Chains A and B, each alone.
Chain A
Amino acid sequence: NAGVTQTPKFQVLKTGQSMTLQCAQDMNHNSMYWYRQDPGMGLRLIYYSASEGTTDKGEVPNGYNVSRLNKREFSLRLESAAPSQTSVYFCASTSGQGPDTQYFGPGTRLTVL
Chain B
Amino acid sequence: GQSLEQPSEVTAVEGAIVQINCTYQTSGFYGLSWYQQHDGGAPTFLSYNALDGLEETGRFSSFLSRSDSYGYLLLQELQMKDSASYFCAVRDRKGDDKIIFGKGTRLHILP
Q: B44 contacts the other chain (Cβ, under 8 Å)?
A: yes
Q: A74 contacts the other chain (Cβ, under 8 Å)?
A: no
**Known pairs A45-B98, A48-B97; A100 contacts B31 (CB<8 A):** yes
> Beta-carbon contacts of A88-113 to B below 8 Å, as 1s and 0s?
00101010100111111111000000
The CA-CA distance from A45 to B1 in the complex, in Å, is 13
Query: How many contacting A-B pairs (Cβ < 8 A)?
Result: 64
Give B34 Cβ to nearest chain A Cβ, in Å: 10
Check B42–A42 contact: CB distance below 8 A.
no
Identify which of A44, A96, A99, A104 contacts B97 (C-beta below 8 A).
A96
The 23 listed contacts between A and B (C-beta, < 8 Å) are A30-B97, A41-B103, A42-B101, A42-B103, A43-B89, A45-B98, A45-B99, A48-B98, A50-B96, A58-B98, A94-B99, A96-B97, A99-B33, A100-B30, A100-B99, A101-B33, A101-B48, A102-B33, A102-B43, A102-B99, A103-B45, A106-B42, A107-B42
B residues near A (Cβ < 8 Å) are: 8, 30-31, 33, 35, 41-45, 48, 50, 87, 89, 91, 96-104
When A and B form their complex, which 10 residue pairs have the shortest distance between CB atoms, in order from nearest?
A42-B103, A43-B101, A104-B42, A99-B48, A50-B97, A31-B97, A42-B104, A101-B45, A100-B33, A42-B101
